[in-house]
Amino acid sequence: MRKIRIFSIVLCALFALMLMPRVAFAAGDVEMSFTSTSFAIADNQATIKFTITNNSGSELTVENGSFEIVSMGRQLPLGSSSQIIVDAPDTTSKIEDKKSASFTLVLTDIRASEGSYTMLIKAKDNVGVIAFNTCYLTKDDSGAVDPPKPETPEDALAALMLASVGQDGSVVPAPKGNAGERIRLRLPFFNRSAAPLSNILVTPQLSASLDAFPFEIEAVDYTARLGDMRGGEIRELAYDLKLSKNVTSGVKEVKFNAIYYNNTKGGYETATVSAFVTVVKGASGIQTDEDGKLVVTIPKLTIEAYSIKPENEQDAVTGRLFAGEAFLLELTLRNNSLDEAVENIQLTLENEAGVILPAEGGSNTVFIRRIGAGESAQKSMKFQSAPDAESKAHTLSAKLGYESGKSHKSFATTETITLPISQRIRVRIDDPVTYGDAYENQPSPVYFNLYNMGKSSLYNCMVNIEGEGLRMEEGFFGGNVGPGSTMRADFNIIPSVPGEIAANVIVTYEDVYGVETRVEKPFTLFVQEEFKPGLDEDIFNPMPEKPLPSRGLSPLLIIGGGVLAAGGTAAGLILKRRRRRRRELEDA
């Protein structure tokens, strides 16, 4: 009976523990934001930086095991050495309510290809997912393909645009639907240029205004990867979206931002395209605010375009940004409302990583008093990147705050500006050195050292020779040279003409964006004529076969010489005996 009572008590205790409440996190309590839209896989390793914000009302504990990365429902295969690095000294981070923490996830030995991956977060002792977001992992294969040289002047229009027909040549109609229905939005992208485009990412411009984005926002991130496109190619992208039950009838313009790498121009570019959706049967267009006043529309303020002007005049021609140097960012803001002005506009640009900051005497915030209905305004802001900025595309978060000109309600929206930054390459090449003398039509060895004194790697280093009658016995490929590293080039050159030759060693290499650079190093080569023996000469037996005649040497002279030689030998023997006899007497 006692055992039964003890067992009952233990069973009740276990049941009570099961009924104890656990910390529950609802969707939206925890947010995740990445510092970039994509991260590169280099040597099977990637570093992902992100921020977690806790709005759950309780303390959030995040551990190493709280993270999962999946693609199409399958977990990303990682090596055993993959680890998470947090701001706290150990591998556990506790985030209080209404606060954020920054994390760096180092992934090593990645056994997967590039693509879109979703990062999931779980709280301690909680089996459910509390937050998720999508990032892109791309292979770092910059410089693997020689980019084609531009044959035409730069075109002011974007290379990427929407076509009226799909990949099969049929016309793509504008989608139609009623409020609350799900529709399929097809986007046939067309590469109007002859240049191939790489790493194309497409993102819709999300908005709280149903006139600008008439769909229910069902995902945190709608960014889609279009891949690579050849010149003149059409590739289709489709979105399955649900029209909001509150959207009004009419034609709605939905804008999409695209970023891609132009292999001919050697840099990243952006394009904005518009698709139109027809709402056949929608909700009432009358809305009321919290005071019961009617609000007809919500004005939408967007960044219509932006351009970059480096401070360096030479870089201003190419439009390339280099680390540590100042540049001017020019923006065009447009009020997309056709019947309402926007007022008291404040634009703030920030880079979460702290790589892009306002230049000396500049500010990251500008104020605009008013933009009329359907009108635009231009503003310029001066920025500077950090000297140690990594060679990649960095992002600026553009936060827009403004008021309606009619209702004077406040609105806020955020957009993203992408800025590709490069490290300026610094290379030093020693004077070429030749081994020994150079002969006509004979291989002559040459060597020199190249030093990478910059903060970025050199890719696909090649060595060639230029000069009258000079050619290389075989080409020299130096591969990649990391920052602070040296490349030694040893090769043979074969001259075909004698004399003093003014020559150039030609070194070509590429940067992280595939832009090729050519460096020349002059040197002088002295070439001797090739030795060519005559037809009657024997180079292997240059001495005559017959002895030369004595020509008049008399027999008497020959006999006299022999007598003198014999006499000298006899005198030497006699002197030698006398010295030995003298030493013997002294010893006795």
pLDDT of residue 285: 46
What percent of the chain shows pLDDT beyond 70? 70
Neighbours of 394 (CB within 10 A): 23
Nearest to 201 by CA among 220, 221, 227: 227
pLDDT of residue 476: 92
pLDDT of residue 204: 92
Q: Six-digit token pair at 253?
A: 């313009």
Residue 99's pLDDT band (cuts 50, 70, 90): confident
Lowest-pLDDT range of 36-45, 64-73, 330-339, 423-432:
64-73
Is the domain 141-285 a CATH 3.40.190.10 member?
no
Q: Residue ranges per domain, the chain?
A: 22-138, 141-285, 290-424, 427-528
* 467/499 Cα distance (integer angstroms): 12
The per-residue pLDDT for range 103-136, each reduced to its tens digit, is 777 777 676 666 656 666 665 555 455 666 666 6
The pLDDT of residue 433 is above 60: yes
pLDDT of residue 152: 38
What average pLDDT does the segment 14-25 reach? 45
The per-residue pLDDT for range 135-185, each reduced to its tens digit, is 667 766 443 334 333 333 334 467 888 887 887 778 888 899 999 999 999
What average pLDDT does the segment 289-317 reach? 71
Residue 558's pLDDT band (cuts 50, 70, 90): low
The per-residue pLDDT for range 214-271, each reduced to its tens digit, is 999 888 788 888 889 988 888 999 999 999 988 888 889 999 999 888 887 778 888 8
The pLDDT of residue 488 is above 90: yes
3-state DSSP assignment of residue 355: coil
* 368/331 Cα distance (integer angstroms): 12
CA–chain centroid gap for 58, Å, is: 39
* 211/36 Cα distance (integer angstroms): 28
Comparison of pLDDT for 403 and 266, the residue scoring more:
403
What average pLDDT does the segment 482-503 reach? 91
The per-residue pLDDT for range 50-69, each reduced to its tens digit, is 788 887 777 877 776 667 77
Is the domain 290-424 a CATH 2.60.40.10 member?
yes
Residue 16's pLDDT band (cuts 50, 70, 90): very low
CATH code for the domain defined by 427-528: 2.60.40.10
Confirm whether 141-285 and 427-528 share one CATH topology: yes
- The fold of the 22-138 domain, in CATH, is Immunoglobulin-like (2.60.40)
What average pLDDT does the segment 301-320 reach? 82
3-state DSSP assignment of residue 570: helix
List the Cα angle 175/178/183 in 5-degree steps: 40
pLDDT of residue 495: 92
Q: Which of 24-28, 309-313, 447-451 has the highest mean pLDDT?
A: 447-451
Cα 481 to Cα 173, 486, 511, distances in angstroms: 51, 7, 11
One-character DSSP codes across 186-220? EEEEEE-SSS-EEEEEEEE---S-TTT--B---SS
pLDDT of residue 215: 93
Q: Which of 388-392, 512-516, 578-582 has the highest mean pLDDT?
A: 388-392
Partnered with residue 179 across adjacent β-strands are none
The pLDDT of residue 548 is above 70: no
Comparison of pLDDT for 412 and 537, the residue scoring more:
412
Instruction: State the pTM of this model.
Output: 0.39
Partnered with residue 396 across adjacent β-strands are 417
